[in-house]
Amino acid sequence: MKFAAIDIGSNAVRLLFGNVYEGKNGPSFKKADLVRVPLRLGEDAFLRRKITPEKIEKLLMVMRAFRNLIDFYAPAGVRACATAAIREAVNGADIVARIKKETGLNVEIIDGKTEAKVIYSNHVAELLDVSSDYLYVDVGGGSTEVTLFSKNEIIASRSFNIGTIRMLNDLVSKDLWSEFKDWVKETTKDHKRPLSAIGSGGNINKIFKMSRKKQNRPLAYGKLKEMYEFLDAFTLDERIKILGLNPDRADVIIPAVKIFLTVMKIGEIDRIFVPQIGMADGLIHLLYEEHKAKLQHTIQD
């Protein structure tokens, strides 16, 4: 069966179609199609506290196109969520209402903690060693979600208004940065070493692809630092023209890797796994679980 998930982020808008196959060992999730449209809503929201009419019209164009694709594929379920940019914009609720009116799509504006829970619903821990501790780090344009889990249980989770677009525009105060580092240090100090990280977000996914590491193999801290120094040695223009990075990726990738390196250094983390999943993938998992629950309820009735 097929499900559709929309993630309205601070740097891009994504539509993911995911197929779920049921087998004897439980369901398996496969990405069918992913459409990513670069639309930097975060620049408006974080700098002006309001999404401009031009960006609103572009977002509506994207959502109308997504509606057409959803109608074509006719998935068993659809869910759309908006994060930091829409959440913090004073006209965010109005934008969501316009999307509903023009496309029929219901968009949920979710907070940072809910975002972390949705991402965690990917059941990443099932892919790893259940006897170990992991720090899940999701870096977006507007916020960073950090979740510590041990033996598949969430021990601590927090969302910080530290994101790549905020950092590019000098919107992260020294006090907030210090609070972020202190929380990571305090949260991880009593957990056995070596502690591993799980990275989520478009930038760490790109870094992982550039590293040419095999799937399910971690990136060492030293390798990630080496890649950061390599990228940082190029100008923004050179990253686009010489390295072939997309313009909407070439600038935010630097602060993103800085956030990951900071977490790993403070938390004494020597490696990071990059399963290449995120918000939209988590929504697909939740849609499937809701679908199964409804079926069971119908059978019981």
Beta bridge partner(s), residue 272:
197, 219
SS3 277: coil
DSSP string covering 146-181, please? EEEEETTEEEEEEEES--HHHHHTT-S-HHHHHHHH
Q: What element of type H or E holds 23?
A: strand 12-23
233, pLDDT greater than 90: yes
φ and ψ at residue 115, rounded to 5 degrees: -60, -45
In the chain, residues under CATH classification 3.30.420.150 are 124-276
Quick one: pLDDT at residue 123? 58
Q: What is the DSSP letter of 214?
A: P
246, pLDDT greater than 60: yes
- 155-190 pLDDT, tens digit per residue, is 898 989 999 999 999 999 999 999 999 999 999 998
Q: Burial of 31 by CB count in 10 Å (0-12 exposed, 13-18 middle, 19+ buried)?
A: middle
Q: How many CB atoms lie within 10 A of CB 260?
A: 27
275, pLDDT greater than 90: no
Homologous superfamily of 124-276 in CATH? Exopolyphosphatase. Domain 2 (3.30.420.150)
Strands (E), 161-282: 195-200, 219-220, 269-273
In the chain, residues under CATH classification 3.30.420.40 are 2-112
Quick one: pLDDT at residue 182? 98
Give pTM, 2 decimals: 0.89
Beta bridge partner(s), residue 108:
81
- 91-113 pLDDT, tens digit per residue, is 999 999 999 999 999 999 998 77
Q: Which pairs with CB-CB distance under 8 Å and at least 24 residues apart come from 147-156?
A: 147/116, 147/120, 148/187, 148/188, 148/191, 149/120, 149/125, 150/191, 152/125, 152/126, 154/120, 155/187, 156/187
Q: How large a percentage of the chain has pLDDT more than 90? A: 74
Nearest C-alpha neighbor of 251 from the set 228, 233, 235, 274: 235
38, pLDDT greater than 70: yes
Please give the CATH architecture assigned to the domain spanning 2-112.
2-Layer Sandwich (3.30)
Quick one: pLDDT at residue 213? 82
- One-letter amino acid at 258 equals K
